[in-house]
Amino acid sequence: MLLFETRSPGWLVPLFALALPLAAQDLPTVPILHSAPMAERFGKPYVMVSINGHGPYRFIIDTGTGADAFISPELADQLHLPTVAEVVVRDPSGQGGQRVGLVTLDTVELAGIAFHDIRAIRHTITGEAGTCQGLLGFTLFRNYLLTLDFPRRQVILAQGALQEDGARSVLPFHMPDGVPVTSLRVNGRQVDAQLDSGGGGLTLPEELAAHMRWEIAPVVFASGQTMATRFAMKAAKLGSDVTVGRYTFTHPVVEIHPAFPLVNFGSPPMQSFAITFDQKTLLVRLRADHDHFDVLAPPSPPRMTNAPQVAPPTNLVPIG
């Protein structure tokens, strides 16, 4: 999810010949895993990629973006990438929109895998860890098992397929607008939720928040903006639990946004999991060392006391 915030105040065992050597056809098939380091900054997953044989460049992996890629105007100019078309981008609120350029990336290389002929949206990507040079969206990984292993700080790409387990740790999802949406429970109520590695927290839409009971009532704590809208953000502590499969978040701190119609399961609640997405079977697997978690206030970057204030773009639609 493209949300820009301004906050205030691997198994490897040597094989030894025990008797007779095995014929090649008798050897077990081991899936080939491609992995790369994944840096976590303020909860968001960043990786280094090569574009058209140049780089490396710092990109964020954002499963909440239903496009293959975004690239910053500065990097697009540096690589002499011409605009080949224009598209209109909007956020899930359905309000506003921006017409932006589209460029073609001959190759995008990550973890030893090259993706070819990728259409990328030309747009500035700003996050809490500073400006990065681009974004890898969810649909880029349509032909792979994509694992974001937050505890081990790795991104892993592999072939294969996930298998259902009765919705304990493997859950079905669907993909409206190219973004994974699964079901979870908030205060016992089953709701749809985006699985959004670029999201800033565990976020509830205003309509759902109006029916919650609170341990700490909502207060405005930040302003936020997407590519199309700007709004005030609230934070609160639930007086009930959130459950995802067999996993429970006990009375978590949540954010409340007016811009989004669905719950957003962002990168902070993902931090304890290795999350694997299979876009072919439409299954997602969550693995963790324990079953119960806390979600505290989302991390904020340090701010200089006399840092200049940057006004939001004038073409954003105010909502909420």
Predicted confidence at residue 40, as pLDDT, reads: 79
Nearest of 166, 55, 154 to residue 111 by alpha carbon = 154
Domains 4-8+32-158 and 170-318 share a fold: yes
Place of tokens 């909420």: 320
Output the pLDDT for position 87: 87
Q: Evaluate if residue 71 carries a pLDDT over 60.
A: yes
Check whether 282 has a pLDDT greater than 60: yes
Render 232-263 in DSSP notation, one character per residue.
EEEEEEESS-EEETTEEE-S-EEEEESS-SSE
Pairing of strands 229-238, 317-318: parallel
Could you give the strand order of the β-sheet that contains 33-37, starting from the edge strand earlier in sequence?
33-37, 154-158, 145-149, 274-278, 283-287, 170-172
* 134-137 and 54-62 strand pairing: parallel
Q: Find residue 225's DSSP bridge partners.
A: 4, 230
Weakest mean pLDDT among 151-155, 234-238, 247-251, 301-305: 301-305
pTM of the model: 0.82
Residue 300 pLDDT greater than 90, yes or no: no
Is the CATH code 2.40.70.10 the one for domain 4-8+32-158?
A: yes
The CATH code that applies to domain 170-318 is 2.40.70.10
Checking if the pLDDT of 301 tops 80, the result is no
Please name the residue that has the structure tokens 């004038």: 314
Torsion angle in degrees (nearest 10) through CA of 203, 256, 219, 272:
0
Residue spans per domain, the chain? 4-8+32-158, 170-318
Out of 28-32, 265-269, 274-278, least confident range: 28-32
Mean local confidence (pLDDT), 151-156? 96
In the chain, alpha helices (H) = 73-78, 206-209, 267-270
State mean pLDDT over 209-221.
91
* Minimum mean pLDDT range among 185-199, 256-270, 306-320: 306-320
Q: What is the mean pLDDT of the chain?
A: 83
Tens of pLDDT, residues 83-97:
999 888 876 666 667
